[in-house]
Amino acid sequence: MPGVMTVAAGNALPLVSLGGNFAFQMASPTNPGVKVQVQTLTRLVSPEYLSAMRLRLVDGRWLSDAETLTSRPVIVVDRSFAKRYLGDHPIGMRVPISFGEGRSDADVVGVVDDMRQADVTDAPAAEVFISYRQMPNRIVNGGLAFVIRTADHPMSHVAALRTLVREQDAAIALDSIMTMEERVATSLAKPRLYALLLGGFAIAALAIAGVGLFGVLSYSVAQRSREIGVRTALGAQIHDIVALVLKHALIVALGGIGLGLWSAYALTRYLSSLLYGVSSFDGLSYVGVAAVVTVVAALACVVPARRAARIDPLIALKAN
């Protein structure tokens, strides 16, 4: 159809289904005499699936239409599988995955980048991609996912897609049609909610800190009005009085920022599960927070500093 670039199919789709789980033993790449237990996710896909999903080829080649039921079994693995079980030179290694009918192992022909499957916050998992042409009987028993990459807006092809499916078999229903952007947004709903809640708490805490610092400084200026009056009477200039107030505020603010950063660093392991797209020890975040709190502290100093600078020494001395 015009506008359709790539069409693929498989028994799994990121953020929708996991495919199959497979466990077996194989020789360690560093010590062939030792057997390691392999836990991996398996994907039965059409050869176009990897390119349709825009998976980056790290080494070797893609699956192809040349792989059939009668040809030598081959697989493509992801970077995590290669790193854990195959070592530095995975291409050409044999993996003991049974394809049935006496085919007890398969050759690794390619390595692709990791792809998060269940959730965007999940750690990368070991995955194996197998052409459904080499296991045709296994793909017909479960759900089938179609991947369509288009040059224009993908939702404009939905009506034609439904018509084509209905022409093949009127009893078949399309369970869900959604763009990958929409699936990613749905998967990010929980992290986004956490971000909104934590962001709201952070803004409230920042406002409370600013008001608290303003109150402390205002009280300090009121308590030290006689001292400020004496300093002014002895020749202190306005900038000297402002510097006195700012110095006190700076000590309070830097002490609070230091204690807060230390506490945040100590408690990051409890928040790591709520983070997405940022490390729990992200230096930019720490620097940004410290800068924002410093700016808020500086703004909280403006009114007390102006008030201190306007104290009349005569009134201050008489009042005390």
Q: What is the pLDDT of residues 53-111, one digit of tens each?
A: 999 999 999 999 999 988 999 999 999 999 999 988 999 999 999 888 788 899 999 99
Beta strands (DSSP E) in the chain are 4-10, 20-27, 35-45, 57-60, 74-78, 94-95, 106-112, 127-131, 145-150
The pTM of this model reads: 0.69
User: For strand 94-95 and strand 145-150, is the pairing parallel, antiparallel, or unpaired?
Assistant: unpaired
Q: Could you tell me the two tokens for 214? A: 């303003």
How many whole angstroms separate alpha carbon 82 and alpha carbon 308?
Answer: 68
Rg, Å, the chain Cα set: 32
How many whole angstroms separate alpha carbon 311 and alpha carbon 283?
Answer: 43
Burial class of residue 261 in the structure, from the number of CB atoms within 10 Å of its CB (0-12 exposed, 13-18 middle, 19+ buried): middle
Burial class of residue 317 in the structure, from the number of CB atoms within 10 Å of its CB (0-12 exposed, 13-18 middle, 19+ buried): middle
How many whole angstroms separate alpha carbon 86 and alpha carbon 93?
Answer: 8
Q: Could you tell me the two tokens for 183? A: 């699936």
Contact call for residues 15 and 29 (beta carbons, < 8 A): no
Strand partners, 94: 107
Mean pLDDT of 176-196: 85
Asked which of 39-43, 84-88, 189-193, 272-276 is least confident by mean pLDDT, the reply is 272-276
Interval 242-283: pLDDT, tens: 888 888 888 888 888 889 888 888 887 777 766 666 777 788
